[in-house]
Amino acid sequence: MRLVSFDDFKLAVSDDTFEPTTISKIASKLDLDVEGKYLLDLGCGVGPIAIHFAKCGAVVTASDVNEKHVAYTEMNAHNNEVDIDVIQSDLFESVLDTYDIIFCDVSGIPKFVADATAWYPSGVPVADDTGNNLVHKVIEQSPEHLNKGGELYICSSSLSNQFKTIRKIRDHFSEGELFYKKAIPFCPELYPLVEEGKLDQTNYDKKGSRYVWYLYVYRAVK
């Protein structure tokens, strides 16, 4: 176990847990109005987003399918003196309440990309080879766990099919929008996937001699 910095606080992590990801850091800068609202952090990892929003005044529930992530989130919440209800759940399987906001960062990365890059620790669920199945399942199931007018903020990537994701949001929510977009430079492990034809030009852009993919955060309103 070791400590890493996130925002203005410390988090305990280990070699087989997630450290705060790019989206964790982005989430803390989105300036969401969460004070007094009931918020579910679905797929919480070791708790960076949940703790950040609790410090901003939200009433937070954090859930993760990984038992070690649940334990670390409980420990990190205690160490940072915030009150968070932490549950172990495979997506919404054990989620019984409804919320004003759901923030979700399940994998929107295709399995073949996750395998090539080793971005995910052992025991952390990854998407299938489309990269869409977990994100789409959350979109389909979120409305029954949101209060009227509640918002889903869900992360996805250009490495999966965004046309299908946008259509899924339109099918299940009254309104939706691309809330945030960030270009991420290719890591060395991604270039062979382009050469092998596993990634096509809808998945990335070329910026000079470099390639980038995009991280998206969608906002959907019930």
What are the extents of the domains in the chain?
A: 2-221
The pLDDT-based confidence of 122 (bands split at 50, 70, 90) is low
Report field, pTM of the whole predicted structure over 0.85: yes
- For the chain, the C-alpha Rg in angstroms (whole number) is 17
| pLDDT tens by residue, 125-141 | 778 888 899 999 999 99
CATH 3.90.180.10 fits 2-221, yes or no: no
